[in-house]
Amino acid sequence: MTSPVGTSRRGMLAGTAALGLAAALPAASRAAPYDGAAWRRYAERFLLPEGRIVDTGNKGISHSEGQGYGMLLAVAGGDRAAFDRLWGWTQRVLMVRGDGLVAWRWTPDGGVADRNNASDGDMLIAWALLRAAETWQAEAYRTAAAAIVKALAAGLLVEQAGLTVLLPGRDGFRKGETLVLNPSYWIFPAIRAFAALPGGERWGKLSDSGLVLLSKARFGGFQLPPDWMTLDAAGTVGIADGFKKQYGYDAVRVPLYLAMDGYRDPYYFRPFATLATKFGATKYGGSAVPATVSLPGGTTTQVAASVGMLAVYRLACKLAGAGDAVTVPPLAPDEDYYSTTLAHLSALAAQSLGIDP
Amino acid sequence: MAVMEMAVTPFHRTAGRAALWAALAAATLLTSGCAGWVRDNLTQSATPWRRIQPAALPVTLPDSRDFPIVAARMRDTGTVYKTYNVALGNPTSLAGENRLTVDVQTLPDSLFGALVQPPRVFPVPLYTMETLTATTRREFPDMKVKVADIARRNRYGDYDYATAQDAENSCVLAWQLITDHKRMLPERIEAVRLEYRVCGVGSNIRALLAPFDGLTLTLPETILEVQDLGGL
Amino acid sequence: MTRPLLLSALILAATAIGGGSDAWAQSNGGARALAPGVKVEVAPAPGSGSAPAAGKVDETALRYYARIGDGERMEAEIARLRALDPGWEPPKDLFAPQPAATGVDESPFWSLLSAGKVAEARAAIAEQRRKSPSWQPSDKLLQELDLAESAGRIRSASDTKRWQEVVDAAAAQPEAVACNRLDNAWRLAEAYAELKQTDRAFDTYKTIVTTCPKAKERRDTIFKASRHLSPERLRELSALGATANPATGEDYSAVRSAEAELETGRLLERLGNAKPGALSAADLSRVQGIVRDKQDADGAIALGWYFQKQKNFAEAQGWFTQANEWTPSDKAAEGLVLAYNGLGDKAQARAAAAPWKGKSSRIDQALKAVDPPRGPAGPGGGRSAPQGPSELDRALARHDFAACISIIRGTIAKSGPTAALLQQRGWCLLELKRPSEAEAAFAEAQTLAAREPAKGGASATGTAPGKAGSRSPAASGLPQTATPAQENAYGQAIARLATGDVTGLTRDLPRANLTATQRAEIRASLMATEAGRALEDKRYNDVLRLLDARKELEPEPRNLGIVRGWALYNLMRFDEAYVQFKSIDDRLSTEESREGLSTAWKTIYHDW
């Protein structure tokens, strides 16, 4: 199975941040808000002139997820020129499959390195296009978004055990009658935007089943969702084989996307808050939240959660009613792409919910 | 003669509940848009044992005075598993049959076969310390059991075994899983499991293991032997 | 308060058992089963000093309990609401659908919950909270959801043997472990036992049997605990369960007898496997006492064999006689024949065999020890009756089948094989669970018999003389004595049954040379085997068809009765399954029968 942005990249990323590293940095009680200036700093570090976002934690490759995040942050930062460059490169270089979906992985040496799509990348790009259409009143973006959404619905939305679910990629995520799914591919605010398009009813069902699956997919002492899960024909969920059996770099985005879509039910944020408060409160200066937790065993890694992940935990704690349990240090000058992106998205979510970031 | 006790196929106490769950699961499946998948239990469970001629076995044993082939049987489980049971002579007066069991797991030859594979007929790992203890206690009651620390090797690679002894007799239980389908197994065979249980008079363990050491698998497609591979 | 039957103290700190027990015990007062719709008389919960809630009380939870038929919690909820508002009366229309209350109507969430769709309820609530940020679900609803999820978590963790997670889940939600959720409590105790925390396991069982009011629950708990606790602690548990915190109207004598039942089972099992003298005098006298008290024929037979193996034939004869008086059976008679034979009283032995002679292969076999069959031409038989029982006969009388094999091997080595010797070897091999060799021995015996000079002229082909072909001798009540050839064919059939060669045997049975009785016995066994297979294949109607057909030939033994119960259960004929399990359990309660009974009961009453 080809795995879209998954364990390999996140694994490499993990190696760079040693436990307690962030503790050496001056503590700050709140993450920076996201604004035009934040976008410009982001673009300086990660956006290359030709229009691709570099995954600095991952040997400088680019991928559909990065393009999508970049486009979203560009809209929020009000930078249409940068947005157009990102979208242009994406169309030119990654949309080579012929089915309207985006090849997920590109390397500086070899170009498109895996033609399979990663559904979250497609969704982020389409959602950014819809937001751009609204922000800049440009119908062409909407038309392009609608085409991607249609292709996603045709190839990736499937029914299983009475639930509408999203396959993580076009190929390789069916094992017999069991599906392999990624909980963090439920980008709730994007899904809601797709549901509002003409003929978008199935996307509404995808939201509903996402909440159902997140209630079912709770494992181990912290009751966390796995990065990769299975859903069998009877509706039973499990932890997927063939991936690291853990909660980690993928699933940390689950509370982020829920918050971005306006969900506030503490029940859905509590597992993440529990993890953060258990590890975040004490002797390591509030920064020793582990980056990953094995499931269902609960073994934690020695690698600490990045700044961006801590920003997500801070948000989750607020929504779970656990208060200001997590301290988020400022972004380091060499903070990598993924951590920085999570930090900015968390700030955006907090702003939209009217919470202090 | 205690006909009744022997004749009833043992089944799990929870069989009923498990079966109900399976039925519910199947019902969900049929209503969940996964059309085209036909529930077909009969093809999934084991057929009854049937007698076969020793010549029809996929295994050849070296001639042995103490452990001649008494009977050979086989059965199928689904389309992917064939199990052969070779009852061997038992020169002792201990309870229990001497036997060699061979499970052959083939790859399904259709998409349908791949979708509806029966559960594996042998566990992997073949034994845990717990299941081994339970098995040896059942097979060799009242005997002193020892699990060999060092594996032995036959034509198909390393295998593990346990021994049991009392004042007059010795027994062995050996087991082996052949899964090297890159080098040893033909394309269509996923795995071969061997299990060998033999009791004999005296204390010569190596004599008991000799048939297992010397056996040759004779499946329709050739299985390469360890020495063919220039040593593993 | 709902029933505060918490194990919290136990889960969080094993030392704080006393507190936990108190909490359990308090809730027992005045608890009565409540049929839905029956008018309720319950005193307000004491000590609730809070001011009556203004306006209408929230009856949502009450209606939920009514809908799922949970009388206990419904009663507790009524008490709670009364405490909040002493003037409040339980509504008469508990089952009527409710119009939406002010604000958000919670009933859709309760409906999902009562349908067991906990995740769906969570999803719907989250969606509602997104739409109406100021709304909060009631505490009651959240608590029920938490409980349902915890129960699910405990169940799945324990089903997959993740014992520590069972303990963690129970610790995270102590309310999930309570008398009205006994299954969770059992699973917690099991988890402790599997984690080798035997003291905590014991404490958990102890809390259950001293606080849960129902005698049946306490009794079931003793059985559950028997898998994990030592006999001594089990005795302690039974004593506590039979006396502590009695509720009015409950008869706890069954709790004490549960322990005795287990004890007997354990001792009898040891008796069966015991080498002579392996049981202490105290154990032996206890099991004798229990068997006598219960007039347990199977127990008496086990005792008989125990003594027979020690060559204490007089004692053995006493127990076999006793067994045969309580419940006459060929099994009891078989022992009796061999015991008398051991005592040298062949006349009595023959007399004991008489009622079963020719009807039971057991008895016919035993009789061979009394009157050893002479080989047709004498060779190999070498021994003659006046010299008393031969070495082989004595081995058979002791049920020492390994010796039987050795002696026959020796005899054959000395003086060559005879059909009779080979046949006897077949029977002994069958007893040693070596059916493949047994089948071969019977086949060999048959070949040899064909070559040996025929006695009476008919033995080789074995045609039963003088019987009208169409009339079944069994049906006419005239036992037909099997010829040696028929004995051999019968032995082969039994051996093939034991090797699982059902197909071949079914094919060959019509042509096999068997007496009608033998044939019926084999057919019944084949059908039993087929029924077991049909059950595994989930062909439940076939199971019943086969068992019904089999019943025409022979009474149904209890293991097949259990099979019948599961078939009914899986055909959703739950009431019939319950009756079936109940009828078996009432006669002799075993783990199998209890499992069936409790599963059927829980399904019928949704009491999971």
The interface residues of chain B toward chain A in range 1-60, judged by CB-CB distance below 8 A, are 24-25, 28-29, 31-34, 37
Give C374 or A100, the one with higher predicted confidence: A100
Is B150 exposed, middle or buried, given 0-12, 13-18 or 19+ CB atoms closer than 10 A? exposed
Chain B residues closer than 8 Å to C569 by CB: 16, 20
Whether residue C133 and residue A264 make contact (CB cut-off 8 A), yes or no, is yes
State how far residue A270 is from chain C, nearest Cα, in angstroms. Answer: 13
For B6, nearest residue in chain C (alpha carbons): C498
Tokens of A220: 């181990």
The pLDDT assigned to B83 comes to 95
The pLDDT assigned to B115 comes to 60
The pLDDT assigned to C506 comes to 87
Q: Per-residue b/e over C298-333, b at no fewer than 16 CB within 10 Å? A: bbbbbbbbbbbbeeebebbbbbbbbbbebeebbbbb
Of B33-42, C229-238, C386-395, where does mean pLDDT reach its minimum?
B33-42
* Candidates A177, A209, A232, partner chain B, best to mutate (most B CBs within 10 A): A177
Of B106-120, C256-270, C322-336, C339-353, where does mean pLDDT reach its minimum?
B106-120
Q: Are C599 and B19 in contact (CB under 8 A)?
A: no
Band (C400; pLDDT cuts 50, 70, 90)? confident
Q: pTM for the full model?
A: 0.53
Say whether pLDDT at C10 is over 70: no
The CA distance from A75 to A128, in Å, is 7
Give C8 or B134, the one with higher predicted confidence: B134
Band (C64; pLDDT cuts 50, 70, 90)? confident
Chain A residues closer than 8 Å to B32 by CB: 159-162, 233
State how far residue B87 is from chain C, nearest Cα, in angstroms. Answer: 6
**Given B7, B49, B73, which is nearest C525 (Cβ)?**
B7
pLDDT in tens, A164-173: 999 999 888 8
Give C311 or C41, the one with higher predicted confidence: C311
The pLDDT assigned to A2 comes to 41
State how far residue C52 is from chain B, nearest Cα, in angstroms. Answer: 47
Say whether pLDDT at C127 is over 90: yes
State how far residue C142 is from chain A, nearest Cα, in angstroms. Answer: 9
Say whether pLDDT at B222 is over 90: no
The interface residues of chain C toward chain B in range 580-599, judged by CB-CB distance below 8 A, are 591-592, 595-596, 599
Say whether pLDDT at C84 is over 90: no
Whether residue B8 and residue C560 make contact (CB cut-off 8 A), yes or no, is yes
Say whether pLDDT at B170 is over 90: yes
Whether residue A215 and residue C119 make contact (CB cut-off 8 A), yes or no, is yes
Band (C39; pLDDT cuts 50, 70, 90)? very low
Give B56 or C264, the one with higher predicted confidence: B56
pLDDT in tens, A280-324: 655 444 448 999 999 887 888 888 899 999 999 999 999 998 888
Whether residue B49 and residue C501 make contact (CB cut-off 8 A), yes or no, is yes
Residue type for position A266: P
CATH class of C372-458+480-514: mainly alpha
Band (A357; pLDDT cuts 50, 70, 90)? low
Band (A56; pLDDT cuts 50, 70, 90)? confident
Band (B44; pLDDT cuts 50, 70, 90)? low
Instruction: Say whether residue C330 is in contact with chain B using an 8 A CB cutoff.
Output: no
The pLDDT assigned to C12 comes to 38
Same fold, C274-366 and C372-458+480-514: yes
So where are chain C's domains?
Answer: 8-213, 274-366, 372-458+480-514, 542-605
The answer regarding whether domain C274-366 maps to CATH 1.10.3720.10 reads: no
Say whether pLDDT at A273 is over 70: yes
Instruction: Say whether residue A161 is in contact with chain B using an 8 A CB cutoff.
Output: yes
The DSSP secondary structure of C267-332, one letter per residue, reads: HHHHHHHPPTT-S-HHHHHHHHHHHHHHT-HHHHHHHHHHHHHTT-HHHHHHHHHHHHHHS--HHH
CB atoms within 10 A of CB C346: 17
Say whether pLDDT at B42 is over 70: no
Q: Are C176 and C5 in contact (CB under 8 A)?
A: no
**Given A213, A221, A262, which is nearest C168 (Cβ)?**
A221
Which secondary-structure segment (H or E) carries C505? helix C502-508
Band (C137; pLDDT cuts 50, 70, 90)? very high
Average pLDDT over residues C578-594: 82
Whether residue B29 and residue A159 make contact (CB cut-off 8 A), yes or no, is no
Say whether pLDDT at C34 is over 50: no
The interface residues of chain A toward chain B in range 305-334, judged by CB-CB distance below 8 A, are none
* Candidates A209, A211, A237, partner chain C, best to mutate (most C CBs within 10 A): A211
Tokens of C276: 């002579």
Say whether pLDDT at A145 is over 90: yes
Band (C255; pLDDT cuts 50, 70, 90)? confident
Say whether pLDDT at C186 is over 50: yes
The pLDDT assigned to B176 comes to 94
Q: Are C20 and C10 in contact (CB under 8 A)?
A: yes
Whether residue A162 and residue B31 make contact (CB cut-off 8 A), yes or no, is yes
pLDDT in tens, B68-98: 999 999 999 888 899 999 999 999 999 999 9
For A234, nearest residue in chain B (alpha carbons): B25
> ipTM score of the complex?
0.89
Chains sharing 3 or more CB pairs under 8 A with chain A:
B, C
* Phi-psi group of C352: left, alpha or beta (phi > 0 → left; psi -120 to 50 → alpha; rest → beta): alpha
Give C297 or A148, the one with higher predicted confidence: A148
The pLDDT assigned to C482 comes to 77
pLDDT in tens, C264-312: 777 776 676 666 556 778 888 888 887 888 788 888 988 898 888 888 8
Whether residue B34 and residue A160 make contact (CB cut-off 8 A), yes or no, is yes
Say whether pLDDT at B22 is over 50: no
Chains sharing 3 or more CB pairs under 8 A with chain B:
A, C
Q: Look at the domain A9-353 and name its fold.
A: Glycosyltransferase (1.50.10)
Of A57-66, A272-281, C52-61, C597-606, where does mean pLDDT reach its minimum?
C52-61
The mean of the pLDDT values for chain B is: 76
Instruction: Say whether residue B218 is in contact with chain A using an 8 A CB cutoff.
Output: no
Say whether pLDDT at A159 is over 70: yes
Band (B5; pLDDT cuts 50, 70, 90)? very low
The mean of the pLDDT values for chain A is: 87
Q: What is the dihedral sign for C-alpha C331, C334, C339, C342?
A: negative
So where are chain A's domains?
Answer: 9-353
Whether residue A220 and residue C165 make contact (CB cut-off 8 A), yes or no, is yes
The CA distance from C421 to C418, in Å, is 5
Band (C374; pLDDT cuts 50, 70, 90)? low
Is residue A120 annotated as a catalytic residue, yes or no?
Answer: yes
State how far residue C22 is from chain B, nearest Cα, in angstroms. Answer: 36
Whether residue B70 and residue C591 make contact (CB cut-off 8 A), yes or no, is no
Average pLDDT over residues C90-113: 73
Q: Dihedral angle at the C-alpha atoms of C143, C145, C148, C151, nearest 10 degrees?
A: -60
The CA distance from A351 to A346, in Å, is 9
pLDDT in tens, A226-240: 999 999 988 889 999
Instruction: Say whether residue B222 is in contact with chain A using an 8 A CB cutoff.
Output: no
Of A26-35, A82-91, A95-104, C428-437, where does mean pLDDT reach its minimum?
A26-35
The CA distance from C571 to C581, in Å, is 15
Is residue A65 annotated as a catalytic residue, yes or no?
Answer: yes
Band (B13; pLDDT cuts 50, 70, 90)? very low
